[in-house]
Amino acid sequence: MPSSPPPISSVAVLGCGLIGQSWSALFLAHGLDVVAWDPDGGVLAALPERVEPLLGQLRALGATADRPGRLSVASSVAEAVRGTAWIQENAPEKAAIKHALYAEVEAAAAPDAVIASSTSSLTWTDLAAGVARRDRFITAHPFNPPHLMPLVELFAGDAETLGRAETFYRSVGRVTVTLKKDAVGHIANRLASALWREAVNIVAEGIADVAEVDAALVHGPGLRWSVIGAHMAYHLGGGPGGIAHYLDHLGPSQERRWATLGTPSLTPEVCRLLVDGIAREAAGRSVATLEAERDRGLMLALAARRKAGEGEGA
Amino acid sequence: MPSSPPPISSVAVLGCGLIGQSWSALFLAHGLDVVAWDPDGGVLAALPERVEPLLGQLRALGATADRPGRLSVASSVAEAVRGTAWIQENAPEKAAIKHALYAEVEAAAAPDAVIASSTSSLTWTDLAAGVARRDRFITAHPFNPPHLMPLVELFAGDAETLGRAETFYRSVGRVTVTLKKDAVGHIANRLASALWREAVNIVAEGIADVAEVDAALVHGPGLRWSVIGAHMAYHLGGGPGGIAHYLDHLGPSQERRWATLGTPSLTPEVCRLLVDGIAREAAGRSVATLEAERDRGLMLALAARRKAGEGEGA
């Protein structure tokens, strides 16, 4: 049995857009040093001031170590990954760009350093094709914004690397979910995509407008799914007999419902309904204002979970 | 212009299963008298003790009037609806049963009393076929459990009745969403059904098990959808350019993703995977225990919303 690797004290963050910034804040808040790199010098220079308000949110949540980590920037990929056991890659969602980056990483990193890709739309199989040490390569998909959202979806070909990833992300307060099989969109984005398709259909069919669909979700199933999952909701919907009773009695009517769901296309007309509908829902609020409202709502929801003892953060 | 009807001081609750019990608790907590009727004398006799713990939850949330309403039971439909301006119908989901009940209601109720159906799976059109005063008939679909979940989905043929319903349900702390067009599953259950189809597909395809799908939802999109809707999430996903930018740049990749979503059937094999998966997720907890955990989580989430000033309850 191999000796277990030492605890991780620093992380290389490659790519410092929204996802890289958010990861950096999370790692720093948990006392890990971050060495950041981005091909765009302006993005890299702006990183400390971008990270600061996110760290403030994590402090307000109480999800911080006694001593925050130290943020430094590297002038090359090699400099960023040298001496680091964990590499979080957030490059653009093009396999060729990521493959080129992995070649640079592998030329400089310690042999047992893990490369974790934040990819949302590519698969482990797509990306591992450009990695020599595939046993040390993993997809670790966060949900936006990663410093607040607990979920990290994992897939790896190697059980030991998977175990290291579970330990690592849990140590920074994340909830990990592991796929049994590599899949486009992992779990969460498949679910989000399926729901949005029907949300678009409801608008396209004239059943309700954008703001009403969003309100129904936030005050109905969204609220419930923040507490229990969809499968569990149908288990409780079955009464004392649970999901077996539900499937026996209401399974056929669910299948009929599925057959009535829409398969809309994003035609110019449908896009116009969506854009106009969002304008009405936003009611003059900028994207930045809406993001700040989202973050405030998420922080209150996370504080409520902490109270429930579900152990988010910290 | 007709004079506006006087404020509602009592509600007739017809059908006292889970939904009727939950509505009763909500109305009582907001100071309204409830006159309840159910064809099953045992269900009716048990109502006070079923309602009491739900009232306790609402008291704990602070969503109660200074003086709670009075709960009484009626020995006939006519007795329940006489002298009441609002009739909340929660009969079994069979049009013929509901039509027969409406005939009894209309023979005894005041002519401008509103009949509001809690139906989840039938449409206004289905049910209005059995009503003489269709202008006073509305579907008012709550989301389970109605005393905690804010959403009520409305559809009516008459604008004045719709306005009265919005005023009434908001007065008991609900968030109303109005459909532009009658539709099976209203909004929320269409969204829930679309999401669950893919949740079943992920299990059927062996991508992940039931517990992992539920965890990904609760710690990812579910949490986010408790704060912002699906359309708004894509608006923020578009960055400063918002949803127009998102649709231009990522619309085609969403359509490709939609094409990869599954269309599972609830075959015996799939049902077995769901039942076994729930057994593992429940880990020995009974349906009653799981419901109590759900309610506790919902109450914390609602308390957090109240803190955010979104004005749930009361």
Closest CB to A193 among B183, B258, B294 = B258
Instruction: Establish if A314 belongs to a structural domain.
Output: no
Those residues with Cβ within 8 angstroms of residue B242's Cβ, 6 or more apart along the chain or in another chain: A278, A282, A287, B235, B236
Do the Cβ atoms of A226 and B301 come within 8 Å?
yes
Domain boundary among B178, B198, B220: B178
Residues paired with A178 in a beta bridge: A154
pLDDT at B44: 97
Those residues with Cβ within 8 angstroms of residue B55's Cβ, 6 or more apart along the chain or in another chain: B25, B28, B29, B64, B68
Instruction: Establish if A5 belongs to a structural domain.
Output: no
Distance of CA A169 to the CA centre of its chain: 12
pLDDT at B63: 73
Task: Identify the segments of chain A with pLDDT beneath 50.
Answer: 1, 311-314
Closest CB to A216 among B177, B216, B252 = B177
B49: helix, coil or strand?
helix
Tell me how close the Cα of A107 comes to any Cα of chain B, in angstroms: 33
Query: What does the pLDDT look like over A178-196, one tens digit per residue?
Result: 999 999 999 999 999 999 9
Return the number of other C-beta atoms located less than 10 Å from residue B59's C-beta.
12
Do the Cβ atoms of A219 and B278 come within 8 Å?
no
Strands of A157-286 (E only): list them.
175-178
B304 contact residues in A (CB cutoff 8 A): 300-301, 303-304
Both B173 and B193 in a single domain?
Answer: no
Distance CA B39, CA A53 (A): 59
Do the Cβ atoms of B196 and A234 come within 8 Å?
yes
Sign for the pseudo-dihedral over CA of A199, A202, A208, A210:
positive
Closest CB to A225 among B218, B239, B305 = B218
Instruction: Establish if B312 belongs to a structural domain.
Output: no
Both B158 and B38 in a single domain?
Answer: yes
Tell me how close the Cα of B271 comes to any Cα of chain A, in angstroms: 7
Distance CA A117, CA A129 (A): 13
Strands of A38-150 (E only): list them.
71-73, 86-89, 114-117, 137-142
Task: Identify the segments of chain B with pLDDT beneath 70.
Answer: 1-5, 310-314
Closest CB to A227 among B186, B190, B218 = B218
Instruction: Establish if A1 belongs to a structural domain.
Output: no
Query: What does the pLDDT look like over B63-98, one tens digit per residue?
Result: 778 889 999 999 999 999 998 999 999 999 999 999
Q: Is the ipTM of this complex over 0.85?
A: yes
Both B160 and B225 in a single domain?
Answer: no
Burial annotation A151-162 (CB, 10 A radius, 16+ → b, else e): bbbbbbebebbb
For residue B306, which amino acid is it? R
pLDDT at A4: 65
Instruction: Establish if B146 belongs to a structural domain.
Output: yes
Both A206 and A258 in a single domain?
Answer: yes
Q: Residue A55: which CATH number?
A: 3.40.50.720
Q: Are B154 and B139 in contact (CB under 8 A)?
A: yes
A123 contact residues in B (CB cutoff 8 A): none
Closest CB to A177 among B192, B215, B282 = B215
Domain boundary among B125, B159, B178: B178
Distance of CA B76 to the CA centre of its chain: 26
Distance CA B32, CA A132 (A): 70
Q: Cα dist. A52→A22, A24, A92, A118 in Å?
A: 10, 10, 23, 21
Domain boundary among B129, B147, B178: B178
Both tokens assigned to A7: 């605890």
How many distinct structural domains can be found in chain A?
2
Instruction: Establish if B84 belongs to a structural domain.
Output: yes
Contacts 24+ apart (CB under 8 A), A51-55: A51/A21, A51/A24, A51/A25, A54/A21, A54/A22, A54/A25, A54/A26, A54/A145, A54/A147, A55/A25, A55/A28, A55/A29
Interface test with A, best of B179, B223, B247, B258 (most A CBs within 10 A): B223
Do the Cβ atoms of A219 and B153 come within 8 Å?
no
Both B170 and B196 in a single domain?
Answer: no
Both A161 and A228 in a single domain?
Answer: no
Both B28 and B132 in a single domain?
Answer: yes
Both A146 and A195 in a single domain?
Answer: no
pLDDT at B314: 33
pLDDT at A3: 55
Q: Residue A289: which CATH number?
A: 1.10.1040.10
Instruction: Establish if A131 belongs to a structural domain.
Output: yes
Q: Are A65 and A49 in contact (CB under 8 A)?
A: no
For residue A284, which amino acid is it? G
Tell me how close the Cα of B110 comes to any Cα of chain A, in angstroms: 32
What chain B residue is nearest to A149 in terms of C-alpha separation?
B220
Closest CB to A231 among B187, B277, B300 = B277
Closest CB to B185 among A178, A237, A257 = A257
Both B194 and B164 in a single domain?
Answer: no
pLDDT at B313: 38
Instruction: Establish if A252 belongs to a structural domain.
Output: yes
Return the number of other C-beta atoms located less than 10 Å from residue A202's C-beta.
28
For residue B99, which amino acid is it? H
pLDDT at A199: 98
What chain A residue is nearest to B288 in terms of C-alpha separation?
A240
Tell me how close the Cα of B162 comes to any Cα of chain A, in angstroms: 15
Do the Cβ atoms of B216 and A151 come within 8 Å?
yes
B181 contact residues in A (CB cutoff 8 A): 205-208
B305 contact residues in A (CB cutoff 8 A): 300
Both A146 and A245 in a single domain?
Answer: no
Both A172 and A282 in a single domain?
Answer: no
Distance CA B211, CA A178 (A): 11
B185 contact residues in A (CB cutoff 8 A): 257, 260
Residue A299 domain boundaries: 188-307
Distance CA B265, CA A259 (A): 11
Do the Cβ atoms of A213 and B231 come within 8 Å?
yes
What chain B residue is nearest to A311 in terms of C-alpha separation?
B219
Both A204 and A101 in a single domain?
Answer: no
